[in-house]
Homo-oligomer: A and B are copies of this chain.
Amino acid sequence: VAAGRDFIDAVANSSPARLALIVFSLVILVFTALLSLPAASVSGDVTPLHDAMFTAVSAVCVTGLTVVSTAAYWSVFGQVLILVAIQVGGLGILTMASLLALAVNRRLGVRGKLIAQEGMNTGRLGEVGSLLRIVVATTVLIELALAAVLAPRFMLLGEPPVQAIWHAVFYSISSFNNAGFTPHSDGLVPYENDPWILIPLMLGVFIGSLGFPVIMVLLQSRLKPRRWNLHTKLTLVVSFILLGAGSLLWAAFEWFNQQTIAGMGVGDKILHAVFASVMMRSGGFSLVDMADQDASTLVITDMLMFAGGGSASTAGGIKVTTIAVIFLAIIAEARGDTDVRAFARNIPAGALRVAISVVMLGATMVAVATLALLVITDQTLQPVLFEVISAFATVGLSIGLSPELPPAGKYVLAATMFAGRVGTITLAAALALRQRKPLYHYPEERPIIG
């Protein structure tokens, strides 16, 4: 066993990005095989490969896009498989991404305590095991708290205790892992005016979207901002700005939309707007039909889905710190500063180049998948771009395109989910780990820009 641990640690340290790719692929294949079993579906039939694989990828990558109804198509065994896949995928992402961030920081000798480093490099479990233990303990604790709040509500609404607990556990795991799967056939619509259910879901999704390094710093610093590192401050500030902007714009564009919230009271309208804003950056739960929303709302949702959540979180997208670094660089440029600054800290130029690479890789993935689906189907840009960005950023909000796609289209979306999930974090780590000083410099020459 010890030899196995040493082997895993050695691989994790020599090429953490490759390890992440291999582990994720294997886990997805296992769940694809399990979901294909006749016992996993209500009908007792073998599920076609494209549907089983799409569902496995969607669950392991905590996306929430579906090609069949989770509640109606899958048996209880199938639903348990999906829940386990979400939990394994979520824990895997948190562990992998934290591990990659640790590797980067160790290589670059970065200042500032990133995560619970006391727990690292000690004990028999090895580094990977030690990190995984902390991640699992934190995750289970938060999920239990969420389930404990939700279960009584489902019981009060008349569900038998076992079913209420099952639903509470499903929603707590689905929300904290930003998975967006729902065990009810009509999703959250029956609870659209029930804060007792919506607020815990929002909290679970929002905390989950901050990322493990931020959650650890918040827990260890006992919420004292003076002890927060730069990463935590940037993640929190940008997350709250995007949450506020998303709520305002969603409310502005939908306020008078008869198909969505126009008929509701002001309080419910605001609850819907905040809920939509929390969910569009990765949660994937929805209270209204995406196709009923105004085209302007869909474009805002496209943007916020692409933005995503915190680094080393179960949220996807290009991540809020990536946006922060680019925005700060532009601010610095507008002021004429050559240093990029935030909270009395200097952000190194290397971080900006990694951020640009992540954005461009993300934009390229979205563009390629969009073009592929436009060629495969007869759809127009609006629905295709929405579904593709939802897949890339593992959000799971759907305009209804996924179930209608031919198998080739389902594979394209599945590949987009996988690439979006594993691609950006491994790219960022791989790039940061390769930085070295050049041996010689060419003379400088500046082309005209713009």
Contacts and interface: CB of A to CB of B under 8 A. Distances in A.
Contacts of A447: 230-231, 234-235, 311, 321, 324-325, 347, 351
A443 B353 contact: no
Interface stretch (A148-156, A184-192, A193-201, A330-338): A330-338
B111 A381 contact: no
A255 to B, nearest CB: 12
A357 B338 contact: no
A408 interface: no
A141 interface: no
A211 B449 CA distance: 12
Nearest to A333: B353
8 contacts: A101-B448, A111-B445, A112-B445, A319-B448, A330-B360, A347-B445, A356-B356, A427-B450
B229 A450 contact: no
Copies per complex? Answer: 2
A358 to B, nearest CB: 4
Interface stretch (A33-41, A161-169, A297-305): A297-305
B329 A446 contact: no
A350 B374 contact: no
Interface stretch (A73-81, A271-279, A429-437): A429-437
Interface string A307-340: 0000110000011011011100110111111110
A263 interface: no
A90 interface: no
Given A110-B446, A449-B351, A374 B294 contact: yes
Interface in A360-408: 360, 367, 370-371, 374-375, 379-382, 384-385
Contacts of A360: 326, 330
A448 B112 contact: no
Nearest to A322: B449
B434 A367 contact: no
Nearest to A351: B446
Contacts of A253: 375
Nearest to A102: B448
B449 A321 contact: yes
6 closest residue pairs by CB, A with B: A428-B450, A336-B434, A311-B448, A381-B382, A296-B374, A231-B447
Contacts of A336: 431, 434-436
A231 B341 CA distance: 30
Among A235, A356, A434, A446, residue most surrounded by chain B Cβ atoms (within 10 Å): A446
